[in-house]
Amino acid sequence: MGVLMKGIDVANVMKEKLICEAEMLKEDGISPCLAIVRVGERPDDLSYERGARKRMAMVGIDCKVTELPGDIGQEEFEEMFQKVNDDPKVHGVLLLRPLPVQLDEEPVKRMIHPEKDVDCMSPVNAAKIFAGDKTGYGPCTAEAVMEMLKFYGVGLKGRNVTVVGRSMVVGKPLSMMLLNEHATVTVCHTRTVNLPQVCRNADILIAAAGKAKMITADMVGDGAVVADVGINVDEDGNLCGDVDFAAAEEKASYISPVPRGVGSITTSVLAGHVLRAAGAAGSRTKIGIGR
Ligand code: NDP
């Protein structure tokens, strides 16, 4: 059985550093603040919001939630979003997604100030991730995977990494982050031919497809590192990942569970981004430019 990569252990170590950073900002007269914008009351959103508020409180970041009705129209939604976005007291803005069907996310991706875009919604931050420019903010989940691999001492340089999933939220940005660390990256999707073989050849396999238990034991190479990003509900109504954990753990050298894996790290990454954004805003104020 492989080593269990527990998200909480990673988050606990990150917490100490985050608390120190928040204290230093406060000594400089800056009160770091995250604004969460939620439309409607999707259980996933409410659960993520609870986790984020708890994490922000734990490290000393203010957290404001703007709750909008689930049936809000595009115009009013954009107005409300812009208000939060323009609030000078707010250093980071997190819009909970996906949005209800009547809303188009594209305009707000362009509206959000890139320097407040702590979960990589803006094309500016996405481009920075692809360019390997560390001044941008990556998507928290993709960075959470990187934090987990770093914490467990999983080397990336020259290793074969297979990422299953190519979304802009996880698969693609994560692939770029891995590439920036000199991994040899293969990105898989629904049209990949012979997925089991491509997965089996990986030293490090990252599942981000959103398909319950699709990664079976025959897709895991002996001694591979397996990180599971998926959050799904199985046939018994229990949370599970994309990896068939019970079968894969026999072959993996390291493996992350779901729940209590990657998902437990994302709000710590988010807190880190808010602190960085607050620090940068403080520096801009000192030299008299921008928001
Ligand atoms: P998307 O649905 O946007 O993307 C899924 C990707 O997986 C697509 O690229 C798709 O390929 C690929 N895929 C789906 N099925 C298969 C398959 N059978 N074989 C190969 N590739 C497949 O999902 P997200 O990226 O937003 O999320 C992925 C998972 O991560 C979900 O379970 C989600 O809940 C979870 N998640 C977890 C977070 C956390 O904090 N832990 C945060 C965000 C997401 P194609 O492009 O060809 O359609």
| Residue 285 binned pLDDT confidence (cut-offs 50, 70, 90) | confident
* Cα 250 to ligand 1 centre (Å): 24
164 lines ligand 1 (CB under 6 A): yes
Q: Give per-residue burial for 144-172: e unless 16+ CB within 10 Å, then b.
A: bbbbbbebbebebeebbbbbbbbbebbbb
Q: What local confidence, expressed as pLDDT, does residue 286 receive?
A: 72
Which amino acid is located at 149 in the chain?
L
| pLDDT beyond 70 at 287 | no
Q: What local confidence, expressed as pLDDT, does residue 283 receive?
A: 79
Query: What number is the average pLDDT over the span 159-176?
Result: 98
* Cα 17 to ligand 1 centre (Å): 31
Span 195-250, pLDDT tens digits: 999 999 999 999 999 999 999 999 999 999 999 999 999 989 999 999 999 999 99
Q: What local confidence, expressed as pLDDT, does residue 252 receive?
A: 98
Which amino acid is located at 111 in the chain?
M
| Residue 1 binned pLDDT confidence (cut-offs 50, 70, 90) | confident
Q: What local confidence, expressed as pLDDT, does residue 289 receive?
A: 60
* Cα 18 to ligand 1 centre (Å): 29
| Residue 290 binned pLDDT confidence (cut-offs 50, 70, 90) | low
Among 169, 232, 262, say which to mutate for ligand 1: greatest number of ligand atoms within 8 Å of CB: 169
The number of the ligand 1 atom at minimal distance from the alpha carbon of 192 is: 20
* Cα 165 to ligand 1 centre (Å): 5
Percent of the chain with pLDDT over 90: 96
Span 236-250, pLDDT tens digits: 999 999 999 999 999
232 lines ligand 1 (CB under 6 A): yes
Span 24-47, pLDDT tens digits: 999 999 999 999 999 999 999 999
Q: What local confidence, expressed as pLDDT, does residue 244 receive?
A: 97
